[in-house]
């Protein structure tokens, strides 16, 4: 699976300081009928990334998603270029196969386009650029011939060509291949910040409540009496610290694409023994361990025919801000306000998710939760630095096992989890909910039985490696100490 994303680079010709550049950009959006606002009341968000190494500014937004957002990014690039009397370059990468670059200037005559790589449609035009439009942008002694060579190049991952283009145009190559989520993960600073906008309303118009405000209001009233607290974070996380301080329960939400008015509720469990707790990151970033309600519902009903809800009912909660809308994904007419949509989401969260979280009250029940719902619990035996260098390993809860060298109980938990897995497969076959056959089940069970002695021997080797166990204990303590400080920084009592 390749990479797909869009982004925009804006030439800061006057080398304006970030705040002056921001004011100029706000004037453009005001002409579009938007007003600057805060995050809680926003309908649209944009992230700006400046660089002390370049006069180009990165501008990105969920509004610019390839496909549905193509019109938005082109319209903004054209408008910004004319308003600021500068150049804008939009970049759309498609599944790492090809890139569309579009150049916008202060007049239509300065517009140009380039396609790098091979488009899936053979008859799709693949322009390679007009030197008259690009030569004035070249920097650092670069030539049109060098730029043209990149435009005509072929890479296994076509987005790599952007890193070759950046120095020729004087761009900072550090973020030219970053999508919106990646840019959103960069800590805010005077050179990295967000702009929030909402559609301008007439003075007599009733101000619509934002989704963020609706979530905090509806879920806050229900969760705070249960011990949850809205933490100090850029993102709306309600967190409950379990007695003892080693376990937290989390409930949050994230918006879907702006063109589709929907949101998802995410929930999960974490311990202070993972590599790091990351509630300063977006819910989308943490979705590797925070789960949708539909995920829990599916896991709870693997072996029965419970059909009270369809997965679509629990996967995307629809809402509208001013008038009823037809959801483009489901075709359903939605008339729910943000408050009404959140109230329904709270209802199913209370019914399906909160009982699951309530049962996670100590480390043993926490281990059972991770076995059933994730995230993984890899011990990373033999892996340098316990896998800390791996980005996607931040939520691995494997070191939760190393409370003491309890080899027998550890083996029993592993086998119990595998037995549950086999039991689920058997029930799915009997209920007709699986395409598997009894023959495939028997083959799976035989592999399980044959591997039991090997698993036991491997685990015994780990627990008898006293040097490794000692290092694991030290790593657990380090993680716990650091994560407790992180939780305190969120305003939690631990």
Determine the Cα–Cα distance for residues 65 and 71; give it in Å rounded to an integer. Answer: 10
pTM of whole model > 0.85?
A: no
Q: Identify the residue with better confidence: 283 or 110.
A: 283
| Token pair of 305 as six digits | 């025919």
DSSP character string of 163-215:
HHHHHHHT--TTSTT--HHHHHTSPPBTTEEEEEEEE---TTSPPPPPHHHHH
pLDDT of residue 218: 96
pLDDT of residue 433: 63
pLDDT of residue 367: 86
Segment 159-180 shows an average pLDDT of: 86
pLDDT of residue 332: 67
Q: Identify the residue with better confidence: 286 or 126.
A: 286
Asked if residue 50 lies in contact with residue 57, where contact means CB atoms within 8 angstroms, the answer is yes
Lookup result for tokens 């996967």 = 315
Tallying the residues shown for the chain, one arrives at 494
Helices 466-489 and 438-463, axial angle in degrees (round to 10): 100
Min mean pLDDT across 185-194, 201-210, 259-268, 430-439 is at: 201-210
Residue 146 has pLDDT above 90, yes or no: yes
Question: pLDDT tens across 318-330, in order?
Answer: 887 766 666 655 6
Confidence band for 485, pLDDT divided at 50, 70 and 90: very high
pLDDT of residue 191: 84
DSSP 3-state percent helix, strand, coil across the chain (nearest 5): 45, 15, 40
Confidence band for 404, pLDDT divided at 50, 70 and 90: very low
Residue 70 has pLDDT above 60, yes or no: yes
pLDDT of residue 405: 46
Q: Which of 342, 333, 457 lies closest to 407, judged by CA?
A: 457
Per-residue b or e along 404-433, where b marks 16 or more CB atoms closer than 10 Å to that residue's CB: ebeeeebbebbeeebeeeeeebbebbeeee
Confidence band for 59, pLDDT divided at 50, 70 and 90: very high
Q: Which of 314, 353, 339, 41 lies closest to 217, judged by CA?
A: 339
């Amino acid at each position: 699976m390749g990479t797909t994303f869009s982004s925009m680079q804006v030439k800061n010709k006057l080398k304006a300081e970030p705040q002056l550049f921001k004011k100029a950009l706000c004037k453009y959006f005001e002409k579009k009928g938007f007003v600057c606002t805060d995050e809680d009341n926003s309908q649209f968000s944009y992230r700006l990334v400046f660089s002390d190494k370049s006069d180009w500014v990165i501008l990105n937004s969920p509004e610019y998603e390839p496909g549905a957002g193509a019109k938005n990014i082109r319209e903004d690039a054209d408008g910004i270029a004319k308003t600021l009397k500068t150049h804008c370059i939009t970049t759309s990468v498609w599944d790492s196969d090809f890139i569309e670059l579009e150049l916008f200037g202060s007049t239509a005559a300065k517009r140009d386009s380039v396609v790098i790589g091979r488009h899936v449609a053979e008859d799709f035009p693949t322009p390679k650029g007009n030197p008259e439009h690009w030569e004035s942008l070249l920097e650092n002694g670069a030539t049109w011939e060098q730029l043209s060579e990149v435009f005509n190049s072929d890479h296994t991952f076509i987005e790599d060509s952007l890193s070759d283009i950046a120095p020729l145009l004087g761009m900072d190559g550090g973020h030219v291949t970053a999508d919106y989520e990646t840019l959103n993960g960069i800590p805010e600073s005077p050179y990295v910040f967000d702009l929030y906008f909402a559609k301008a309303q007439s003075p007599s118009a009733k101000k619509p409540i934002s989704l963020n405000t609706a979530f905090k209001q509806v879920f806050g009233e229900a969760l705070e009496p249960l011990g949850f607290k809205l933490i100090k974070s850029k993102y709306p996380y309600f967190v409950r610290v379990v007695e003892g301080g080693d376990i937290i329960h989390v409930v949050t939400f994230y918006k879907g694409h702006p063109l589709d008015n929907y949101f998802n509720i995410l929930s999960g469990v974490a311990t202070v023994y993972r590599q790091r707790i990351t509630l300063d990151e977006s819910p989308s970033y943490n979705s590797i361990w925070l789960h949708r309600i539909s995920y829990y519902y599916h896991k709870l009903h693997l072996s029965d025919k419970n059909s009270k809800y369809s997965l679509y009912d629990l996967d995307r909660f629809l809402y509208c801000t001013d008038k009823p809308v037809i959801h483009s994904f489901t075709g359903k007419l939605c008339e729910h306000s943000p408050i009404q949509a959140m109230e329904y989401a709270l209802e199913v969260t209370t019914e399906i998710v909160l009982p699951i979280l309530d049962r996670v009250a100590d480390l043993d029940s926490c281990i059972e939760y991770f076995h059933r719902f994730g995230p993984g619990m890899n011990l990373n035996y033999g892996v340098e630095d316990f896998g800390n260098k791996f980005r996607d390993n931040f939520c691995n809860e494997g070191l939760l096992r190393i409370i003491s060298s309890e080899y027998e109980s550890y083996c029993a938990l592993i086998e119990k989890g595998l037995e549950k897995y086999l039991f689920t497969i058997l029930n799915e076959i009997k209920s007709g909910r699986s395409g598997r056959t009894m023959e495939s089940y028997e083959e799976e069970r035989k592999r399980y039985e044959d591997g039991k002695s090997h698993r036991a021997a491997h685990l015994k080797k780990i627990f008898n490696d006293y040097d490794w166990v000692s290092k694991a204990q030290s790593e657990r303590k380090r993680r716990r100490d650091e994560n407790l400080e992180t939780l305190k920084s969120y305003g939690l009592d631990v």
